Amino acid sequence: MNEQISPTESHPLTAGVAGQGQINTVQEEYYGDWLAGQDHLIDGLLSALILVPVEGTLVQAATLENTSQYFYQLMDIALEQVDSDQPQVASLGSSEQGEVFALVYPLRDTNSEMIALIAMAVGVSREQDLHRALAVLQWSVAGIEVVDYQHRLQQLSQDQHGIAERVDILARVMAEPDYPSAAVRLVTELAVLFNCDRVSLGEYKHNRSRLKHLSHSTQFGKRMNLVRCIEQVMDESLDQGQSIRFPQPDATAGEVVLAHRNLSEQQGMPVCCRFRFIFTVKLTGRWCWKATRMFLYG
């Protein structure tokens, strides 16, 4: 069979159920290789796809022969079986060689959470061929389980590392003798952690934001123009009741960003730059805001 493997993508048929998303690169490569391997193991494999959950939606991790006349039927049947716990078999019609069946295999973990949804269109001439194809599929999905568990272990390790970093920062901040020193230490630690040019901490009092602390600096009285710009940025976020990123990732976003744009221009940051941002975020627990200007490295 002439193989056509495609990476993660979405299709109009999946609108409202499957959406755009990102999966681990290692996973994506493995899914494509896995489907290519099934093409050699299962006789009569005409088309196939793998859907995986990403942030609450299903995305296509890989497809095989997505130009086949059976592919869209296969997609529809697969999405109908999202809540199924057992392998399903459905007829897709007949061909010159015999019958064509859809094999849908929902792979779940021990907590019944979806790992992957595999769907295949298989042409068979005998009932035994169908049973053999299903048996091969059941044995082969063990490899996908291994990749999923490896990904979960990697994510757990990253989460634990992140928690350790936060605990270390908290310990260093709490070790300071007073609140002003602790606040300066906090913004400086955040600037180092997130590789920021600057982290600013302000307080909202008497209907306006006041800049209180800048990272790497205990005095900023001579930089009043910058101070006013940062305070206006804080007010702009507070007035709209939401965090703001500038430049905005979505061109159709409805946030007002005049103050953010002004601060960006004053700092010589091109609006079109993909790797430099201003974030204004409300701190939880009190009316404080921090504005961060960040370099992000891909």
Q: Following DSSP, what letter does each residue of 125-189 receive, concatenated?
A: SSHHHHHHHHHHHHHHTHHHHHHHHHHHHHHHHHHHHHHHHHHHHHHHHHTSSSHHHHHHHHHHH
Sequence-ordered alpha helix ranges (H) in the chain: 25-41, 71-80, 127-140, 142-174, 179-193, 224-240, 258-266
Q: Is residue 172 part of a domain?
A: no
Same domain assignment for residues 88 and 135: yes
At residue 209, φ and ψ (nearest 5 deg) are -90, 140
Same domain assignment for residues 103 and 14: yes
Same domain assignment for residues 113 and 31: yes
Sequence-ordered alpha helix ranges (H) in 81-141: 127-140
Same domain assignment for residues 246 and 132: no
Q: Is residue 270 part of a domain?
A: yes
Q: For position 293, what pLDDT does the model report?
A: 34
Same domain assignment for residues 29 and 140: yes
Structure tokens at 231: 């305070």
Q: Is residue 161 part of a domain?
A: no
What is the rounded distance in angstroms from the CA atom of residue 30 to the CA atom of residue 283? 41
Q: Is residue 87 part of a domain?
A: yes
Q: Is residue 170 part of a domain?
A: no
Q: Which helix (H) or strand (E) covers residue 200, if one does?
A: strand 196-205
Same domain assignment for residues 146 and 191: no
Domain that holds residue 37: 5-152
- Report the candidate in 71, 74, 103, 78 with the shortest Cα–Cα distance to residue 89: 103
Same domain assignment for residues 145 and 186: no
Residue that is last in its domain, among 118, 136, 152: 152
Same domain assignment for residues 70 and 187: no
CB 294 within 8 A of CB 194: yes
Number of domains in the chain: 2
Same domain assignment for residues 57 and 119: yes
CATH number of the domain to which 265 belongs: 3.30.450.40
Q: For position 286, what pLDDT does the model report?
A: 46
Same domain assignment for residues 122 and 208: no
Q: Is residue 12 part of a domain?
A: yes
In 10 A of CB 245, how many CB atoms?
A: 17
Q: Is residue 190 part of a domain?
A: yes
- For the chain, residues with pLDDT lower than 70 are 1-24, 26, 216-223, 251-252, 268-276, 282-298
Q: Is residue 116 part of a domain?
A: yes
Same domain assignment for residues 115 and 225: no
pTM of the full structure: 0.54
Same domain assignment for residues 105 and 188: no
What is the rounded distance in angstroms from the CA atom of residue 201 to the CA atom of residue 284? 13
Q: For position 177, what pLDDT does the model report?
A: 92
What are the residues whose beta carbons fall under 8 Å from the beta carbon of 126, sequence distance 6 or more?
98
